Amino acid sequence: MNARIPGTVVAQDAIDGAALQSFVDERWDDDIVGRLTDYIAIPAKSPTFDKEWLAHGHIERVVIDAARWVEAQKVRGLKLEVVRLEGRTPVLFFEIPATDGSRHEPDAERERTERTVLLYGHLDKQPEFTGWRADLGPWSPKMEDGKLYGRGGADDGYAVYAAITAIQGLDRQGIAHPRCVGLIETCEESGSYDLLPYVDALKDRLGDVSLVVCLDSGCGNYDQLWLTTSLRGNVTGVLEVQVLDEGVHSGDASGVVPSSFRIMRQLFDRIEDSNDGRLLPESFHCAVPQERIEQAHKTAAILGDMVWKRFPWSCGDHGETVQPTTKDPIRALLNRTWEPTLSVTGAEGLPPIADAGNVLRPRTAFKLSLRLPPLVDGPKALAELKKVLEFDAPYQAKVAFRPDRGISTGWNAPGLEPWLADALDDASNAAFGAPCGFLGQGGTIPLMSLLETGFPKAQFMVCGVLGPHSNAHGPNEFLHVPYARKLTAAVSRVIAAAAA
C-alpha cells in the first residue's frame, strides 16, 4: 500500500451521501442510543477499579449484550465469538468478509490473503468519580440537548455499534468493502494488560491488517473529522511513605518525628519542578518531530484559545483572568501531547477533614499518573521513576513505589499514504462540510503501539467523539450524539476507500 489503492475514488463517488447519513441517523436514533442507555446503566468498571469484576458480572453483561446486538444485525457472512482466556477479561471478536458490491457470496479462500480493516474499541469503564451534576450520575443515563450523559457511552461503549453500522451503511448501497475484523476489549482503562495474549491468540484470524480504525480517541471540535496523530504513554502506581507504625499526638511528636507528607514533598522535588511542572529526568523527554510541530500550528489556527478555554476552570471568569500554564495555543497543544506530566489521582492515609484530629499520621500514599511523550519507552521510564523515588529515602523512611500492571508506551502515527489522506478529507467534507483536522492526544491507547509493531505496513485512522466538555473519566461525561452520527458515516467512507 505504497500508493493510492485503485478504485478509491470510484468507491467514494459511488456512495449516496444523503442516503448513507439518513441510514446512520435512523440506526442511531431508533436503536443505538437505546442500547447505549442500557450500557451506561451497568457499572462495568475496568479490573483495576473492580478487583471482583468476574464475580460481579458487569463486564460479562456488557460483552454479551454487545455480542447479541452484533449477531442480530445479520451482516452477511459475519462470524462472532466472545473469546476467553483463563484469568483474563473477555474480548469480543468478529469477522466480516470482503464484498465486491454485488449480492454474491464472498470467496472464502480469497479472504485470508486480502487486506483487512481492524476496528477497535473497548467496553470497560473508568470508576464513578465525584462532582456529578445533581440530576446526573455515572450509572444514570440521561439524554439532553443531543448529549447522552453517563459513564462510558463516549469512552468507549459506542465504538462497536458505530463500527457495525458503518459497514451496514455500505452493504445497504451495495458498496464494496474489504474484509473487516473487530477487536473489542474489556481491559483498556487498566492499561490493556490482558490484550497482548489475545492478539497473540488471534493473530492468524486477524489476517493481513492494512488499516486500523480505532474509535477510542477525541476531537478538537464537533465541526469536522479529527485524526489522532500521536498518543502519550502512561505509567501509574502508588508511592507510599511510612514513618510510624501508628498515629501519634502531633503536639507530642512533631519536631521529632518527620511528617510523612513533607517527605513526600521532598520525593516530588526529585522528579518535578513545582514552579512550572516540568519533569526533571531528561529521559522522560523526547524531541518533537517537525511534522507534529507543523500540524500543531495548523490545529491552533482552527481551535485558537479553545485549546485552553474548553476546560471547566473554577478560577477566574473563563476569560483573561484564567491562568493556564500557557495561553499560546501552539504551546498548549504540544504540552498536552509531547511533554511528560505528573498527576496525583488519589490518596490514602489522609482522613476526611471532619475526622482529622491533632494526629501525626503514620503514612501518606499517593496514586501517581505519569504521562510520557509518544517516543519515550514506558518500561524504561518506569524503572527510572522507581529508582529516583526509592533511592536514599529521607530520614530512612519506608518509601516504596508500586507500579500498576498496565504500563504503556506512547505512539506516533506512521505517515499517511496518499490514498488515506485523500479518503479522510473526502469523508470529512462529505459528513461535516469541512476538511479533516489533525490532533495529538494526551491520553493513551495501549493497543496502537502494539499493532504498529505487529503490522508495520498498516495505516491508522484513530478518531473518536471525545470533544470539548465531554469530560471522559470525570463527572458529567457525555457522548455528543450528532457528532457520533456523522463520524459513523465518515468511517463508512474510509472503509469503502480501503477496498482493493
> Residues of CATH 3.30.70.360 domain(s) within the chain?
233-294+335-403
The predicted model gives 365-382 an average pLDDT of 97
- Grid cell 500492571 is found at 405
Give the three-class secondary structure for 283: helix
Residue 471 C-beta-side C-alpha neighbours within 13 Å? 22
Q: Is it the case that residue 402 has pLDDT exceeding 80?
A: yes
Is the pLDDT confidence value at 2 over 50?
Answer: no
pLDDT tops 50 at residue 284: yes
User: Residue 322's pLDDT band (boundaries 50, 70, 90)?
Assistant: confident
Provide the pLDDT for residue 320: 65
Catalogue the E-assigned strands of 243-328. Answer: 248-249
Interval 89-106 mean pLDDT:
80
Q: How confident is the model at residue 396 (pLDDT cuts 50, 70, 90)?
A: very high
Task: Give the chain's count of helices (H) and strands (E).
Answer: 18, 18
C-alpha cell of 120? 477497535
Question: Quick check: 482 and 135 in contact, CB under 8 A?
Answer: no
Task: Give the pLDDT band of residue 500 (cuts 50, 70, 90).
Answer: low
Residue 8: predicted pLDDT: 44
233-294+335-403 in CATH: which number?
Answer: 3.30.70.360
In angstroms, what is the C-alpha Rg of the chain?
Answer: 24
In the chain, where does the domain assigned CATH 3.40.630.10 lie? 8-231+411-497
Rounded Cα distance between 213 and 159, Å, is 10
By C-alpha distance, which of 8, 6, 20 is closest to 170? 20
Least confident of 269-278, 435-444, 447-456: 447-456
What is the secondary structure of 179-247 as a DSSP string? EEEEEEES-GGGTSTTHHHHHHHTHHHH-EEEEEEE---B-S-SSS-EEEEEE-EEEEEEEEEE--SS-
C-beta of residue 495 within 8 angstroms of C-beta of residue 170: yes
**Is the confidence at residue 248, as pLDDT, over 80?**
yes
pLDDT at position 110 is 47
Contacts of 193 (CB under 8 A, 6+ apart): 187, 405, 406
Distance separating alpha carbons of residues 15 and 61, to the nearest angstrom = 36
Closest CA to 445 of 482, 401, 414, 411: 411
Residue of 462, 467, 457, 465 whose CA lies nearest to 447: 462
Give the contacts of 482 (CB within 8 A, at least 6 positions apart). Answer: 146, 222
Q: Name which of 391, 335, 398, 336 is nearest 363 in CA terms.
A: 398
pLDDT in tens, 69-87: 999 999 999 999 999 999 9
Which has the closest alpha carbon to 421: 486, 497, 484?
497
Cα angle at 460 between 473 and 498, to 5 degrees?
Answer: 130
| Mean pLDDT on 166-194 | 96
- At residue 112 the predicted structure's pLDDT band, cuts being 50, 70 and 90, is very low
Dist CA 445 CA 411 (whole Å): 8
Q: What is the mean pLDDT of the chain?
A: 93
Residues 6+ positions from 221 with CB-CB distance below 8 Å: 302, 303, 306, 437, 467, 468
Segment 28-55 shows an average pLDDT of 98
- The Cα 266–Cα 256 span in angstroms is 17
Q: Is the pLDDT of residue 7 over 60?
A: no
**Alpha-carbon distances of 339 from 188, 257, 410, rounded to whole Å:** 22, 37, 12
Cell of 280: 526533571
- Class of the 8-231+411-497 domain? alpha beta
Query: Are the C-beta atoms of 413 and 230 separated by less than 8 Å?
Result: yes
How confident is the model over 264-276, as pLDDT tens digits?
999 999 999 999 9
Query: Looking at the predicted structure, is the pLDDT value of residue 138 above 80?
Result: yes
